[in-house]
């Protein structure tokens, strides 16, 4: 039975040969007779000039000599101007660890003739007075009214100098 199946498969495959494909071949010949491949000329590659790196003339960045060179340059550099400078030796206050944008004034009070503001940081409340610091830009409280806390911040500019900037924290109603 396998010989008969093999014979039948060969006869069927032979019947699938080339017949009636002449019209397709003629159409392909007609369609491709006007086609011409065109390759545009590309520009000549640019001339590459290699750069010679001469590291033997430079100071090794990992050697102790490099540290001494940097120290000498720092001594020769002009010193910063006599503008305002933050007192880095004083201990930081609690509210200086928060950005000013995250602090909210939620109240004000008078006690023994001194004005105090109630500041909310996260979930805790803090009582501050004139002279206290808050915010991350060395903000010193200069005035407290019933509706606002006025600060003077020291912002470092691009040249390493400090510039004074006035900021205000306004009384806000508690969200429920």
Bigger pLDDT: 125 vs 38: 125
Average pLDDT over residues 23-46: 84
pTM of the model: 0.52
How far is C-alpha 162 from the chain's CA centre? 24
pLDDT of residue 59: 67
pLDDT of residue 143: 95
pLDDT of residue 76: 58
pLDDT of residue 83: 73
Among the ranges given (1-5, 25-29, 70-74, 81-85), the one the predictor scored with the smallest mean pLDDT: 70-74
For the segment 86-113, what is each residue's pLDDT rounded down to a tens digit? 888 889 999 999 999 999 999 999 999 8
Nearest to 137 by CA among 109, 112, 113, 169: 169
- Taking the C-alpha atoms of residue 170 and residue 105, their distance in angstroms, rounded to an integer, is 6
Domains and CATH numbers, the chain: 94-170 (2.30.30.830)
Q: How far apart are the first and last CA of the chain?
A: 90
Nearest to 106 by CA among 176, 171, 160: 171
For the segment 118-159, what is each residue's pLDDT rounded down to a tens digit? 999 988 999 999 999 999 999 999 999 999 999 999 988 877
How does strand 114-121 pair with strand 124-129? Answer: antiparallel
Q: Which residue has the tokens 């011409």?
A: 36
């Amino acid at each position: 039975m396998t010989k008969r199946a093999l014979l039948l498969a060969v006869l069927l495959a032979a019947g699938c040969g080339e017949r009636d494909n002449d019209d397709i071949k003629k159409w392909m010949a007609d369609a491709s007779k006007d086609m011409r491949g065109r390759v545009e000329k590309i520009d000549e590659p640019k001339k590459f000039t290699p750069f010679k790196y001469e590291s033997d003339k430079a100071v090794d960045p990992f050697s102790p000599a490099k540290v001494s060179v940097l120290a000498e340059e720092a001594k020769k550099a002009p010193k910063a101007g006599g503008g305002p400078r933050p007192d880095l030796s004083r201990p930081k206050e609690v509210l200086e660890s928060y950005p000013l944008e995250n602090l909210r004034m939620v109240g004000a009070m008078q006690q023994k003739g001194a004005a105090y503001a109630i500041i909310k940081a996260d979930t805790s409340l803090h009582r501050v007075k004139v002279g206290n610091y808050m915010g991350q830009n060395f903000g010193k409280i200069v005035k407290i009214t019933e509706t606002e806390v006025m600060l003077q911040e020291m912002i470092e500019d691009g040249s390493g100098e400090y510039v004074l900037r006035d900021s205000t924290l306004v009384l806000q109603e508690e969200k429920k």
